[in-house]
Amino acid sequence: MITPLSLFIDSITFHYNKIKVFDKFSKFISFNNLLLIKGDIGSGKTTLLKLIYGYLKPKSGNIRLVLNDKEIGFDEKFFIHSNAVFNFVTGVIEDDLKLLGIDCSLFSPDIRKKYVYELSGGELKKLIIEISLSLNVKIILMDEPFDMLDDYEVNNLKKLIISSMSNRNKYFIIATHEDILDDISDQIIYL
């Protein structure tokens, strides 16, 4: 049986210079597999995801993910950017796989020998999602995962998320303006 993951957002305030995104925002949510973050354009979905991951720090308040009474560490999470190019450090896919400590043979030479710029936006997004699933991390955070994917790929990605939730015991926190995952989510934060 899966153990619920708890997200504690305790009175956080965050702003970019003069743009205030969160003002003493609080939320406590416990979920089994999939938490969605939804809201209008510019409502703060990406910012909240980055705060949960730890890319950004709140100016005040605090934010924690807790599993089995233990706070989740930075190395137990993986963040997938809305523009997947930002997930690749070296630009050579094989070198990035090595950096992440991934067995390169899991990926075909046709893919791993390529440079990031040789893949389309959709191909790159699929690749980074496959990479994240092969990592030994519990929690995968995704920012707008369906951008740049066609209908066929959107459905494949949904199937991949469903199978990873049940077979690999992964937790997903996904910021999206799409409704495609609503029916399989445990909880939704609306901003």
Residue 103 region by backbone torsions, left for phi larger than 0, else alpha for psi between -120 and 50, else beta: beta
Indicate which single residue of 22, 31, 35, 45 sits in contact with ligand ATP (rule: CB under 6 A).
Answer: 45
Beta carbon nearer to ligand ATP, 131 or 174 = 174
Q: Cite the DSSP H helix spans in the chain.
A: 45-53, 93-99, 109-112, 121-134, 151-167
- What H or E segment, with its residue span, contains residue 179? none
Would you count residue 1 as binding ligand ATP (CB under 6 A)?
Answer: no
Beta carbon nearer to ligand ATP, 2 or 19 = 19
Q: Which stretch binds ligand ATP (CB under 6 A): 43-51, 54-62, 106-114, 123-131?
A: 43-51
For residues 132 to 171, the per-residue mask of contacts with ligand ATP, x marking binding by CB under 6 A and - elsewhere, is ----------------------------------------
Would you count residue 73 as binding ligand ATP (CB under 6 A)?
Answer: no
DSSP string over 12-63: EEEEETTEEEEEEEEEEEEESSEEEEE-STTSSHHHHHHHHHTSS--SEEEE
Would you count residue 187 as binding ligand ATP (CB under 6 A)?
Answer: no
User: Which residues contact residue 16 at a Cβ distance below 8 angstroms, ignoring those fewer than 6 apart?
Assistant: none
Would you count residue 176 as binding ligand ATP (CB under 6 A)?
Answer: no
Binding residues with ligand ATP: total (CB under 6 A): 12
The Cβ of residue 150 has, within 10 Å, a number of other Cβ atoms equal to 10
Give the position of tokens 């924690």.
64
Give dist(CA 191, CA 52) in Å, integer: 15
HSE toward the beta carbon, residue 145, CA cutoff 13 A: 29
Give dist(CA 64, CA 11) in Å, integer: 12
Beta carbon nearer to ligand ATP, 158 or 177 = 177
Would you count residue 177 as binding ligand ATP (CB under 6 A)?
Answer: yes
Indicate which single residue of 2, 19, 89, 99 sits in contact with ligand ATP (rule: CB under 6 A).
Answer: 19
Q: How far is the CB of 84 from ligand ATP (least distance, A)?
A: 15
Q: How far is the CB of 147 from ligand ATP (least distance, A)?
A: 9
Indicate which single residue of 39, 54, 58, 61 sits in contact with ligand ATP (rule: CB under 6 A).
Answer: 39
